[in-house]
Structure 1
Amino acid sequence: MSPSITQPDVQAALGAAKQFLFAQRVEEGHWEGKLSTSALSTATAISALEQVRQCGTSASLRFTQVYSQASAADGAHSKFKSVPDLLSHTIQRASRWLVAQQNSDGGFGDTDRSHSNIATTYLVRAALKMTALDQEHLAASQAAAEYTARQGGWEGLRQRYGKDKTFVVPIMSNCALAGMIDWRKISPLPFEAAWLPQSWYRLAKMPVVSYAIPALVAIGQAQHFHAPSANPLLRGLRNAARRPTLRVLEKMQPASGGYLEATPLTSFVLMNLASMGLAHLPVAVNCLRFLLDSMLVADGETGREQGAVSHQPQTQIPNHEDGSWPIDTNLATWVTGLSLVALGRENKLAVGLSSERCTPDLQASCVSEHDSESSTQCFPECIPQRFPQCIPHRVVRWLIDCQHTQTHPFTGAQPGGWGWTDLSGAVPDADDTPGAILALQSLDLDDPKWSRLRREVHSAIGGGLLWLCDLQNSDGGMPTFCKGWGQLPFDRSGIDLTAHALRAVSSAMKDYSNVAAANPRTPTKARLDRLIARGRDYIERRQRPDGSWLPLWFGNQDELDEENPIYGTSKVLLAYAELGWGDSPAAVAGTQYLVQSQNADGGWGGGSSVAYPAVTAAQMQSDRDIQIGDRSAICSTTEETALAVESLALLEIQAGRRPLGKPSIIRGVSWLANHARPECYEHSWPIGFYFAKLWYHERLYPSIFSVAALATVAQGEESADAGEQNRLTKPQK
Structure 2
Amino acid sequence: MAFERLQAAYQTARDELLQERNAAGHWIGELSTSALSTATAVSAMSVVLQQTDNRDAYDQQQLQSLVDRGIQWLATHQNADGGYGDTTLSYSNVATTMLVVAALHLAQVTSDHSELLTRANAYIDAQGRVQALRARYGKDKTFAVPILTNCAIAGLADWRDVAPLPFEAACLPQSWYRFVRLPVVSYAIPALVGIGQARYFHRKPRNPLMRAIRAAAVKRSLRVLERMQPASGGYLEAVPLTSFVAMGLASTGRADHPVVRNGIRFIVDSTRPDGSWPIDTNLATWNTTLALNALATAGEDIAALTPSPLPWLLSCQHTERHPFTGADPGGFGWSDLSGAVPDADDTPGAILALKHWSRAPSCTSPDRESSTRAVQAAQTWLEDLQNGDGGWPTFCRGWTEQPFDRSGADLTAHALRAFVLYTEETPPSAPLAKQLAKALQYLASQQRADGSWVPLWFGNQDDPNEENAIYGTAKVLVAWQA
Task: Indicate the TM-score class for this superposition, using the shorter chain for normalisation.
Answer: over 0.9
Residue in structure 2 matching 1:224, options 197, 200, 208: 200
- Which amino acid counterpart does residue 55 of structure 1 have in structure 2? Q
Taking only the aligned residue pairs, the percentage that are identical comes to 55
Q: Residues 169-201 of structure 1: CA distance to partner in whole angstroms, max 9, x if unpaired?
A: 000000000000111111110101111111100
Kindly indicate whether the alpha-carbon contact (under 8 Å) linking 1:350 and 1:391 is maintained by their aligned counterparts in 2. no
CA gap 1:33/1:88 in 2 versus in 1, 3 angstroms: same
Q: Residues 34-89 of structure 1: CA distance to partner in whole angstroms, max 9, x if unpaired?
A: 1000000000000000011012223x3224xxxxxxxxxxxxxxxxxxx2211111
Kindly indicate whether the alpha-carbon contact (under 8 Å) linking 2:325 and 2:395 is maintained by their aligned counterparts in 1. yes
CA offset at residue 21 of structure 1? 1.1
Kindly indicate whether the alpha-carbon contact (under 8 Å) linking 1:349 and 1:391 is maintained by their aligned counterparts in 2. no
Residue in structure 2 matching 1:345, options 292, 297, 302: 297
Matches within 5 A, 1:4-15: 6-15=2-11
CA offset at residue 346 of structure 1? 2.3
Aligned partner of 1:181 in structure 2 is: 157
Aligned partner of 1:112 in structure 2 is: 88
Residue in structure 1 matching 2:282, options 330, 345, 360: 330
Residue in structure 1 matching 2:180, options 191, 201, 204: 204
- Which amino acid counterpart does residue 193 of structure 1 have in structure 2? A
Q: Count residues in correspondence.
A: 482
Kindly indicate whether the alpha-carbon contact (under 8 Å) linking 1:348 and 1:442 is maintained by their aligned counterparts in 2. no
Classify the secondary structure of the residue corresponding to 1:47: helix
Determine whether 1:560 maps to 2:474: no
Determine whether 1:95 maps to 2:71: yes
- Which amino acid counterpart does residue 319 of structure 2 have in structure 1? T
Classify the secondary structure of the residue corresponding to 1:242: helix
Counterpart-to-counterpart distance in 2, 1:546 and 1:287: 46
Q: Residues 517-559 of structure 1: CA distance to partner in whole angstroms, max 9, x if unpaired?
A: xxxxxxx522332222111110010000000000010111011
In structure 2, runs of 5+ residues without a counterpart are none
Counterpart-to-counterpart distance in 1, 2:301 and 2:424: 17
CA offset at residue 135 of structure 1? 1.5
Determine whether 1:412 maps to 2:364: no
Classify the secondary structure of the residue corresponding to 1:246: helix
CA RMSD of aligned residues (A): 1.3
Q: Residues 2-33 of structure 1: CA distance to partner in whole angstroms, max 9, x if unpaired?
A: xxx82112112211211221111111110001
Counterpart-to-counterpart distance in 1, 2:253 and 2:113: 29
Kindly indicate whether the alpha-carbon contact (under 8 Å) linking 2:296 and 2:302 is maintained by their aligned counterparts in 1. no
Aligned partner of 2:20 in structure 1 is: 24
CA offset at residue 449 of structure 1? 7.4
- Which amino acid counterpart does residue 535 of structure 1 have in structure 2? A
Aligned partner of 1:248 in structure 2 is: 224
Aligned partner of 1:42 in structure 2 is: 38
Determine whether 1:534 maps to 2:435: no
Determine whether 1:492 maps to 2:406: yes
Kindly indicate whether the alpha-carbon contact (under 8 Å) linking 2:83 and 2:124 is maintained by their aligned counterparts in 1. yes
Classify the secondary structure of the residue corresponding to 1:241: helix
CA gap 1:449/1:116 in 2 versus in 1, 3 angstroms: closer
Matches within 5 A, 1:359-398: 390=305, 392-393=307-308, 395-398=309-312
Determine whether 1:194 maps to 2:170: yes
TM-score (norm 2): 0.98
- Which amino acid counterpart does residue 206 of structure 2 have in structure 1? A
Counterpart-to-counterpart distance in 1, 2:52 and 2:447: 56
Q: Highest CA radius of gyration, 1 or 2?
A: 1
Higher share in helix: 2
CA offset at residue 208 of structure 1? 0.1
Kindly indicate whether the alpha-carbon contact (under 8 Å) linking 1:62 and 1:285 is maintained by their aligned counterparts in 2. yes
- Which amino acid counterpart does residue 458 of structure 1 have in structure 2? T
Counterpart-to-counterpart distance in 2, 1:481 and 1:266: 19
- Which amino acid counterpart does residue 484 of structure 1 have in structure 2? G
Aligned partner of 2:57 in structure 1 is: 62
Counterpart-to-counterpart distance in 2, 1:346 and 1:87: 48
Kindly indicate whether the alpha-carbon contact (under 8 Å) linking 1:351 and 1:392 is maintained by their aligned counterparts in 2. no
In structure 1, runs of 5+ residues without a counterpart are 64-82, 298-321, 353-389, 514-523, 579-733
Q: Residues 81-122 of structure 1: CA distance to partner in whole angstroms, max 9, x if unpaired?
A: xx2211111101110001111000000000010000000000
Matches within 5 A, 1:72-471: 83-297=59-273, 322-347=274-299, 349-352=301-304, 390=305, 392-393=307-308, 395-444=309-358, 450-471=364-385
Counterpart-to-counterpart distance in 1, 2:182 and 2:470: 32
CA offset at residue 428 of structure 1? 0.2
Determine whether 1:501 maps to 2:409: no
Counterpart-to-counterpart distance in 2, 1:448 and 1:84: 54
Counterpart-to-counterpart distance in 1, 2:477 and 2:112: 53
Counterpart-to-counterpart distance in 2, 1:396 and 1:227: 52
Counterpart-to-counterpart distance in 2, 1:131 and 1:221: 23
- Which amino acid counterpart does residue 455 of structure 2 have in structure 1? P
Aligned partner of 1:543 in structure 2 is: 447
Classify the secondary structure of the residue corresponding to 2:364: helix
Counterpart-to-counterpart distance in 1, 2:22 and 2:216: 48
CA gap 1:453/1:239 in 2 versus in 1, 3 angstroms: same
- Which amino acid counterpart does residue 428 of structure 1 have in structure 2? P
